[in-house]
Structure 1
């Protein structure tokens, strides 16, 4: 399977509130020791894809620091490897930004031209899932498809956030209804494309110079009748963390469920940037229930139903409940916090009592002292 992977990480989102002030959504920490992009990157590598381009533009420093040379994903190689693709200014293009998904790929057409892969897999760095893309490839070939769109049952998802896909009895896509509030079909589009490379280049060359900058809305939907577009349904776990703070919170909490944890981490390995840290230390005064505690953390207080990243300190008498706490934050003695998302390097002072609710989560910006 000769496939070029492209990961879209260039959009600007304020849906995640304070979590994306200093980082792109693909670099947001999840599950204590991972970043969101780890899942798409690992899925590609586990499927035999050895050349991956990451298209990014807003707040890229954290993402670039995390991905580095791609060593953790075995992408630090002479042939293939990882490419960080940012917008740049030329004599013909004076705009230092991507206008949309199609424009982002078009501005990096050189990567497609120079690659010897026959297919392109396009996804986003914000998705949390575990999949073998080789099954998508087999389905694509079997259908004689030009484009395969990954879909999922719409049950449990907010329909206005997703495109709905209508298919015929052979799973060929008949219609795509973008972000409708009412239920039209039982499938949603997951924002993942598998496409023949030569066709992708042809479509981009013929549409982007004319102002068609969105791959789905401006190129695929208007050409549904002339293209062989098929659906491949992903039946496993899938979440898009950039949809909202609540979605991010709920996704992290899902790791406390055994079946989801097994699917995400024990079917195929998810790789991330390694950091040397001691195992978590849970002292005699600590009480921990239904929580994930990452390396380097020291717990002396009470932790319930929470996700604690590397190096978090919960001091004696402190109570942490239903919280997501990111790296190197400190919860001091006697503090009580509930239903909060706390970014990196935050200090909750001694005796503080801060409580949100499941419907009104409190988000604390990186480096804050409360």
Structure 2
């Protein structure tokens, strides 16, 4: 059989974006779309962050492994064109669940999903695979990390960051003075420090093949379903048996996998902390819709807010993110809220600490109130959203 991937010396590194998770912690925003397709910062989608980082880092082979509700995500990806990843030999590749080989079918966790793509990576001729998720806000050049990975002959490079959040939500890393990773503790009850994995892993493909095949053989599991989450299986094995080093991510990094974290990240954007949307030379790239500029009426009052194209503001907006197509009528007030798009805030409505999904019906009167602490965010979703709906039905 002919080689499906003709030899190309430029083909050495593949970026594998694991975009198949259900994102249940971000419900109800993920009830009608995959987590990477969730709108963020007004006009963007969450997957734009990782794709922009990869494009700016010069990586040309980007594979997106999908599973849960891929329709919205695929519409947005548009074959990779917005990120200049629509090449013939190199570019964006969609990896949907399939049947026909033992490695395929629906994954039982991100470790299993990684195992499922291994034979394809080998056939492609990849030497290094960069494994990333789409749960985080950060700006990071992968070039220096890849250089270190090759120079040190690492089997695995773990990109790390010091978090000011609860470390028990992440994989906690211990590192020796020479940068060798000595321990990886996945979501520990009693974390030993605040240095965590930033969910960016640079694997040597040959080492990954050896490790996963050994683990599945020990479990008598040729399909690899027992690999589950790689934080519980693959990564601990690498730390114990292989050459593993860290590469420190300097700068802001935010996990936004929960409603509270999602809301907090948007408030930080308004305070000009976290993701730098206007960073010179490193713009956040998206598949933008053709919409007219935002309209701010002479009667409107707007302060410390992000207003997306297509929005029309006649009322009061304060410390909020306003998505495409949102209308704030005269006599309405929006404070410390995130409106994702295509919604009308009627006269007399007052929103405080609210996330309104695309197409949500916003009632007149008061909704939500500003209260400190987690779990106090009011989330509005379309009333007619059914179990089989996708957010295209609301026009965003």
2:111 to 102, 106, 109: 102
Aligned to 1:145: 154
Q: Give SS of 1:134's match.
A: helix
Structure 1 Cα separation of the partners of residues 310 and 184 of structure 2: 47
- Write out per-residue CA displacement over residues 294-332 of structure 1, whole angstroms, 9 at most, x where no aligned residue: 001000000000000111100000000010001111101
In the alignment, structure 1 residue 57 sits paired with structure 2 residue 71: no
Q: Give SS of 1:348's match.
A: coil
Q: Give SS of 1:68's match.
A: helix
Structure 2 Cα separation of the partners of residues 74 and 342 of structure 1: 32
Alignment map for 1:351-370 (pairs within 5 Å): 351-358=364-371, 359=373, 360-366=376-382
Unaligned runs of 5+ in 2: 1-9, 217-221, 386-396
Aligned to 1:279: 293
Number of equivalenced pairs: 365
Aligned to 1:206: 214
Structure 1: 4+ residue segments shifted above 6 A = none
- Structure 1 pair 3/91, CA: closer, same or farther in 2 (3 Å)? closer
- Write out per-residue CA displacement over residues 203-241 of structure 1, whole angstroms, 9 at most, x where no aligned residue: 233334263343332123134232010111111111111
Aligned to 1:9: 19
Alignment map for 1:59-78 (pairs within 5 Å): 59-78=69-88
TM normalised by structure 2 equals 0.87
Structure 2 Cα separation of the partners of residues 221 and 260 of structure 1: 30
Aligned to 1:328: 342
Would you say the 8 A contact 1:37–1:127 is kept in 2? no
Aligned to 1:178: 186
- Write out per-residue CA displacement over residues 270-313 of structure 1, whole angstroms, 9 at most, x where no aligned residue: 21002111111000110001000000100000000000011110
Structure 2 Cα separation of the partners of residues 314 and 248 of structure 1: 22
In the alignment, structure 1 residue 44 sits paired with structure 2 residue 54: yes
Provide the alpha-carbon RMSD of the alignment: 2.0
Would you say the 8 A contact 2:83–2:285 is kept in 1? yes
1:337 to 347, 351, 355: 351
Structure 2 Cα separation of the partners of residues 272 and 325 of structure 1: 18
